[in-house]
């Protein structure tokens, strides 16, 4: 479910949910909203404070086992591409890019 905290850098709970094969519903303030949660694919991204939208997304997932299963498969596949080796590679690439910048 969403974290309404503004400025939350990256919610590890999404990684945990995806690892368990669960789609996630997050607020747009969640740092992983852009990286892991693809709205309508691996879960849902809802506006902060939009309780009506959150309720609708919850009802949708609760009522549609096929949709939950499809999202769960995509979530599990997504998280297998997101781990320490990928993070290390991204960090190394960022360092290289920064080192080549002119000040």
Q: Residue 50 has what pLDDT? A: 94
Report the pLDDT value the prediction gives residue 6, as an integer from 0 to 100: 58
Q: What are the residue ranges spanned by the domains of the chain?
A: 12-99
Please list the ranges in the chain whose pLDDT falls under 70.
Answer: 1-11, 103
Say what the pLDDT of residue 71 is: 97
Q: Given this structure, which CATH class describes domain 12-99?
A: alpha beta
Residues in CB range of 14: below 8 A, 6 or more apart: 24, 26, 30, 32, 36, 37, 43
State which H helix or E strand residue 34 sits in.
Answer: none
């Amino acid at each position: 479910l969403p974290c309404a905290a503004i400025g939350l850098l990256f919610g590890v709970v999404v990684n945990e949910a995806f690892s368990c094969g669960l789609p996630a519903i997050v607020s747009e303030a969640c740092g992983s909203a852009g990286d892991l949660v693809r709205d309508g694919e691996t879960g849902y991204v809802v506006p902060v404070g939009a309780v009506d939208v959150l309720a609708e997304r919850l009802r949708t997932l609760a009522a549609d086992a096929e949709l939950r299963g499809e999202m769960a498969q995509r979530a599990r596949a997504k998280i297998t591409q997101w781990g320490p080796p990928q993070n290390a590679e991204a960090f190394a690439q960022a360092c290289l890019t920064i080192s080549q910048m002119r000040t």
